[in-house]
Amino acid sequence: MLVVGLAAAMPLAASAQTTLRIGMTAADIPRTLGQPDQGFEGNRFTGLTMYDGLTMWDLSSADKASVMIPALATEWKVDDADKKKWTFKLRPGVTFHDGSPFNADAVVWNVEKVLKQDAPQFDPSQVGVTASRMPTLASARKIDDMTVELTTKEPDSFLPINLTNLFMASPSKWQKFYDTAEGADAKAKSQAAWAAFAKDASGTGPWKMSSFTPRERLELVKNEKYWDKARVPKVDKMLLLPMPEANARTAALLSGQVDWIEAPAPDAVPQIKQRGFILKSNESPHVWPWQFSRVEGSPWNDIRVRKAANLCVDREGLKDGLLGGLMVPATGTFEPGHPWRGNVTFKIKYDKPAAQKLMQEAGFGPNKKLSVKVQTSASGSGQMLPLPMNEYLQQALAECYFDVKLDVIEWNTLFTNWRRGTKDPSANGANATNVTYAAMDPFFALVRFLQSSMAPPVSNNWGYINNPKFDELVTKARQTFEPAARDAALAELHAASVDDAAFLYVAHDVAPRAMSPKVKGFVQPKSWFVDFSPISMTP
């Protein structure tokens, strides 16, 4: 009888599917065609789930910094004679979701989708989110089926790290759509093929697209044939739902409509915990800074002033008070334990007497305050709580003889002005700007701010920093190809920037997310990204 009962129950147990439902902060499903939009949230949900790059981030540890590891390439090396040429050995036996093989042709095809304007698959809409993340990549060439050569415009040791952002889409699947697409010319057919591909995507990642309703939901199912057996997802389905409003996300979690939400409403955190939900957070490669103007006449040209500002902010107070614990005090772009931290000698901490002393040495005091103006926004991606946080700084710095004026503008405008620089009229005379930044790779984290040639209009050296030591260290890091030595060079660059108090370093975001206690096995890494594979759901 028992055997009969068990046998009857077994099909039910076998068919019980587990689904992980996630409320994203995005207002729309990030693009699904291989190069997601919406910044790193896009990469998190529709990039790293359905696709792989030649390299990827190790997201397995909550304690160590996420580092780059092999993915679809198993090994790579730069040419000894020509440092602009790289050879990548590809992982054998990998197939796309549509069953077609991943090989050197697929890599060349994917490089050309964003770099070669006369290639049929060239898609301008994917260029913006790709080319800027690998600015030196010039071309790709097949050597044999499982070997590919990539060429950069200049020697650049950062290339393997940057390649984490180039996701491999299936050329065969795209070609099928192209062959049947309607359009007046090749360009129109290509656009139609990409539109069709976005609705029925095919990558090599651990998750496969099963259904997609734009702006509403994306349903992914596990890829049983994923090349890394250890990362075959444990849940059967993952449902991604855009929920841009924090209170709506929180209500969806509390009412059991979803199992996981990104960035819960901060004032609901106590209720979330009280009702048995789990709050996860970790130091993120993200910096909330003031970026100083360094043009002639700027008050920040005096290193005593820059150091004083850094010493005058009680970051622990900011964390425990205003931000309810949801930040990590910043003592640089990278914190201790990170391979690019380096031997920093200027210890950033709260030391008001030291800050006041420095300001007095610089000629300021209670009766002679230093007037500074900072441009910021009222909201924005990664800006955390920009207005209250800046008002906190305003009050804190007042005790060190600063008179801070805030110039609050709309986020997109601030972002545009970031590129234009402090000399542009759009800066409104501000001598600092408050734009947060991602610090995943060396170019984004350091080079674009510190190298003199990255001054506007080239990139984000908003304040026209022109320090020969930084330039020298950037070149050294770019041209050091042995990974450990490259990391050491980057650490040297970072330490030099902190010792020079290049920015007012305030906070790192902690990527808070709340989830049902049914969600098991989740590791929140020190990264913008998440590995959904090890997650399981208890009934």
Partner 1 sequence: MFVYVARRIVYVIPIVVSVALVCFLLVHITPGDPLVAILPADASQELAAQLRIAYGFDRPLPVQFGLWLWKAVHGDLGHSIATGRPVLTEVMRAVGNTVTLAIAAATIGFTLGLFFGLIAGYFRDTWVDKLATSIAIAGVSVPHYWLGMVLVIIFSVQLNWLPAVGAGPGGSGAWGWDWEHIRYLILPAITTSVIPMGIVTRTVRALTGDILSQDFVEALRAKGLRETHVFRHVIKNAAPTAMAVMGLQLGYMLGGSILIETVFSWPGSGLLLNSAIFQRDLPLLQGTILVLALFFVCLNLMVDIAQAAIDPRIKRG
| Residue 395, C-beta contacts closer than 8 angstroms, at least 6 positions apart | none
Least Cβ distance, residue 128 to partner 1 (angstroms):
4
Structural tokens at position 185: 């010319």
Q: Which residues bind partner 1 (CB under 8 A)?
A: 23, 27-28, 31, 33, 37-38, 124-125, 127-129, 131-133, 135, 191, 194-195, 198, 213-217, 241-245, 247-249, 251-252, 254-257, 409-410, 412-413, 415-416, 418-419, 426, 435, 444, 448, 457-460
Nearer to partner 1, 350 or 415 (CB): 415
Least Cβ distance, residue 34 to partner 1 (angstroms):
12
Nearer to partner 1, 54 or 129 (CB): 129
Least Cβ distance, residue 430 to partner 1 (angstroms):
15
Torsion (CA) 35, 36, 39, 43 in degrees, nearest 10 = -90
Nearer to partner 1, 436 or 533 (CB): 436
DSSP-derived pairing of the beta strands 370-377 and 402-409: parallel
Nearer to partner 1, 180 or 213 (CB): 213
Least Cβ distance, residue 417 to partner 1 (angstroms):
9
Least Cβ distance, residue 209 to partner 1 (angstroms):
14
Q: Residue 30 in 3-state DSSP?
A: coil
* Burial degree of 334 (CB within 10 A; 0-12, 13-18, 19+): buried
Position 342, amino acid: G
Phi and psi (nearest 5°) for 316? -65, -40
Nearer to partner 1, 358 or 474 (CB): 474
Q: Is the preceding omega at residue 457 within 30 degrees of 0, hence cis?
A: yes
Least Cβ distance, residue 135 to partner 1 (angstroms):
7
| Residue 330, C-beta contacts closer than 8 angstroms, at least 6 positions apart | 287, 288, 289, 315, 348, 505, 506, 507, 508
Nearer to partner 1, 207 or 444 (CB): 444
Nearer to partner 1, 37 or 283 (CB): 37
DSSP 102: P
Three-state helix/strand/coil letters over 465-482: CCCHHHHHHHHHHHCCCC
Nearer to partner 1, 219 or 531 (CB): 219
Rounded CA-CA distance 82/86 in Å is: 9
Nearer to partner 1, 119 or 523 (CB): 119
| Residue 435, C-beta contacts closer than 8 angstroms, at least 6 positions apart | 291, 383, 414, 415, 418, 462
Least Cβ distance, residue 26 to partner 1 (angstroms):
9
Least Cβ distance, residue 262 to partner 1 (angstroms):
13
Least Cβ distance, residue 242 to partner 1 (angstroms):
7
DSSP-derived pairing of the beta strands 73-78 and 68-70: unpaired
